[in-house]
């Protein structure tokens, strides 16, 4: 992947994307736009269990799927290959995720975009759900807390 693609996708705020190990795939038959991302290993990571900062051993990795949008497209899937580290205290922990707030499935940019769509008085919940490929139920549960 090149820097221009990262810029076009609005992901340039993340400074440690490993471009050589990242890839962009587009499947026209399903209209799926998938971005596979790996980060450079961050030397400043600390163990959330004991606070140690060291050169942690990498145990394995997991793929975290995150929904993203760019100015051109509403539905982009990021596959973040997230390392699992093992600390000297024996516990394991996951590489920090810079794309989204913990446990949420959308990047912050996409959540902001959805919120703006929900505030549009000309759009119903189901219009917004269609636009962003979400179920109406999930949309209501997920975004209800923002409207209070």
- Could you identify the residue written with the tokens 């996708």? 9
Q: Segment 10-39, which members bind Zn ion (CB under 5 A)?
A: none
Among 7, 58, 62, 89, binds Zn ion (CB under 5 A): 89
47 scored as a contact of Zn ion (CB under 5 A) = yes
Distance CA 23, CA 32 (A): 14
53 scored as a contact of Zn ion (CB under 5 A) = no
Count of positions on this chain that bind Zn ion (CB under 5 A): 6
Among residues 41 and 123, whose Cβ is nearest to Zn ion? 41
DSSP class of residue 14? -
49 scored as a contact of Zn ion (CB under 5 A) = yes
Distance CA 18, CA 44 (A): 16
Name the token pair of 75. Answer: 């539905």
- Dihedral pair phi/psi, residue 138, rounded to 5°: -65, -40
Among residues 25 and 89, whose Cβ is nearest to Zn ion? 89
* The pairing of beta strand 32-37 with beta strand 76-86: parallel
- Give the shortest CB-92-to-Zn ion separation in angstroms: 9
94 scored as a contact of Zn ion (CB under 5 A) = no
Q: Which residues bind Zn ion (CB under 5 A)?
A: 47, 49-50, 52, 87, 89
């Amino acid at each position: 992947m090149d820097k221009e693609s990262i810029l076009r996708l609005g992901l340039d705020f993340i400074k440690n994307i490993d471009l050589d190990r990242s890839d962009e795939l587009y499947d026209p038959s399903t209209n799926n736009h998938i971005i596979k991302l790996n980060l450079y290993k961050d030397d400043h990571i600390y163990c959330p269990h004991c606070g140690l900062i060291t050169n942690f051993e990498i145990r394995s990795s997991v793929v975290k799927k995150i929904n993203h949008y760019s100015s051109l497209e509403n539905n982009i899937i990021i596959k973040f290959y997230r390392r699992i580290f093992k600390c000297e205290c024996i516990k394991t922990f996951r590489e920090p995720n810079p794309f989204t707030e913990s446990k949420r499935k959308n990047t912050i940019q996409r959540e902001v975009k959805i919120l703006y769509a929900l505030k549009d008085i000309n759009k119903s919940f189901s219009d917004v759900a269609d636009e962003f490929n979400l179920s109406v139920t999930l949309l209501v549960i997920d975004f209800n807390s923002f409207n209070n």
